[in-house]
Amino acid sequence: MIYSLLIVASPVSGHGARTAAGFALSAIASGHSIQRVFFLDDGVYCGTASAVFPQDEADRLQPWLQLAREHAVELVLCVSSALRRGMLDPTEAERHEKAAATVHPAFCIGGLGQLVEAVNQCDRLITFGG
């Protein structure tokens, strides 16, 4: 089965984003595939390059990086949600004349059209958070 995921939960409030990453890794281990993960609203914070977690907390970025690196899962941050929260990739940082990008390079910024495309190309869309 081909899944796409929609993440609307912040990685620092609740367990929605962490549960989503765990689901994705488990689904792949079970022989399914994850086509795309789309981050909306506070879910875009999953893609921040600058978050540092205390030593007694799990690094909330690593599971997403593992999905992108080892399984070629596309990680897309909603452009309007990202911009509203100061999340910029190099292109958006330059376009808005900001000093630096704040999005981890494993993530890209895209529009809602990419979510619609993912829904059309997968068997199931699962939403986490909200």
Active site residues: 78
Number of residues in the chain: 130
Which of 49, 71, 74, 44 shows the shortest CA–CA distance to 59?
49
Residue 38: enclosing H or E segment and its boundaries?
strand 33-39
DSSP 88-117: --HHHHHHTT-S---B-TTEEEE-HHHHHH
CA distance 4 to 44: 16
